């Protein structure tokens, strides 16, 4: 029974938001260099997943007050955490220990990659930047989420960092195309965080969690969401101009249409309907995954310019 709670706490389905971008970066490196190191790929992926797990555990610990209120005021499957600590199904102390252990293991993997597999001088620093952004998203004293910076740091971690780190540790260098490909992924990740703050809005406001939505308000938050949809579309176009195979657009077009519909619903204020909001949260995650998949399928089927 305890294993069930650990699985819930880990929020395993959400790991896809780092797995796909990391795979995208590694695949792009293979297409550009013609080389692929499976050991490097698997170790890097493991380190990325461990850092995300550490972020999940940290968030469960340090957001427990607002998660408790969210369960009463507006809980849906995409917000309010797993509720495992709220219901005291696992001792908080054990979760704290595990959070530090997975992060230390991730950093150890980074050391192996950099010093044994010679993946490049930026390897450990890239991992450390992910730890600082993810682990301290909710954890004091930095607690980025209460400074209005958390959403940006998560967009960096699961967009820019995931794609570019996947590329870097394969190629031992950075690349402009990898940067441009990571931009639409980052925009859609930010929208995942933003829309998931809507069900928690009252609880976060009550707990003094001054995240982006609490600072902007729900109406302006809808505008920000729509602007990010526009930015993701424009940045995808820039990636195509920079060399992403044109066939990627075939897969991205339905994703973009879905994103535009979501932007319209946000501007219309459809987030006020709790059941509709739940579906919009799910679709926003699918837009993010679809953006990464569009690039991946394009790289498999097309040629880089």
Q: What is the pLDDT of residues 161-196, one digit of tens each?
A: 999 999 999 999 999 999 999 999 999 999 999 999
**pLDDT over threshold 60, residue 57:** yes
**Closest among 124, 135, 123 to 96, alpha carbons compared:** 135
Specify the higher pLDDT residue, 75 or 269.
269
Lowest mean pLDDT among 42-56, 117-131, 133-147, 220-234: 133-147
Give the span between the Cα atoms of 224 and 51, in whole angstroms: 28
Give the span between the Cα atoms of 258 and 288, in whole angstroms: 11
Res. 73 pLDDT band, cuts 50 70 90: low
Give the span between the Cα atoms of 259 and 189, in whole angstroms: 12
**Closest among 67, 58, 51 to 15, alpha carbons compared:** 51
The average pLDDT across 49-55 equals 93
Give the span between the Cα atoms of 26 and 41, in whole angstroms: 7
pLDDT in tens, 219-236: 999 999 999 999 999 999
**pLDDT over threshold 80, residue 207:** no
Specify the higher pLDDT residue, 196 or 63.
196
The average pLDDT across 237-264 equals 97
**pLDDT over threshold 80, residue 75:** no
* Dihedral Cα 67, 72, 78, 84, nearest 10 deg: 50
Q: What is the pTM of this model?
A: 0.93
Write down the pLDDT at residue 71. 59
CB 114 within 8 A of CB 120: yes
CB 9 within 8 A of CB 84: yes
């Amino acid at each position: 029974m305890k294993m069930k709670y650990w699985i819930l706490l880990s929020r395993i389905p959400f790991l896809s938001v780092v797995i796909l971008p990391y795979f995208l970066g590694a695949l792009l490196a293979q297409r550009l260099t013609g080389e692929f190191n499976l050991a490097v790929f698997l170790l890097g992926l493991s380190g990325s997943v461990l850092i995300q797990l550490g972020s999940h555990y940290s968030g469960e610990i340090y957001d427990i007050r607002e998660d408790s209120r969210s369960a009463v005021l507006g809980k849906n499957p995409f917000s309010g955490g797993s509720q495992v600590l709220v219901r005291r199904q696992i001792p908080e102390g054990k979760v704290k220990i595990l959070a530090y252990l997975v992060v230390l293991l991730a950093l150890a993997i980074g050391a192996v990659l950099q010093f044994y597999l010679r993946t490049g001088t930026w390897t450990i620093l890239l991992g450390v930047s992910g730890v600082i952004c993810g682990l301290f998203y909710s954890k004091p004293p930095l607690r980025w989420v209460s400074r209005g910076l958390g959403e940006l740091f998560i967009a960096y971690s699961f967009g820019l960092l995931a794609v570019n780190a996947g590329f870097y540790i394969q190629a031992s260098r950075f690349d402009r195309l990898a940067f441009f490909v990571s931009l639409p992924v980052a925009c859609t990740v930010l929208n995942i965080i933003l829309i998931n703050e809507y069900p928690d809005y009252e609880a976060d406001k009550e707990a003094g969690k001054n995240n982006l939505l609490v600072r902007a308000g729900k109406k302006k938050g809808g505008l920000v969401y729509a602007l990010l949809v526009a930015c993701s579309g424009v940045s995808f176009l820039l990636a195509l101009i920079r060399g992403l195979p044109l066939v990627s657009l075939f897969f991205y077009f339905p994703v973009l249409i879905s994103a535009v519909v979501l932007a319209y619903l946000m501007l219309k204020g459809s987030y006020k309907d709790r059941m509709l909001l739940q579906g919009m949260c799910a679709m926003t995650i699918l837009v993010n995954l679809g953006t990464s998949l569009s690039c991946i399928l394009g790289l498999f089927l097309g040629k880089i310019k």
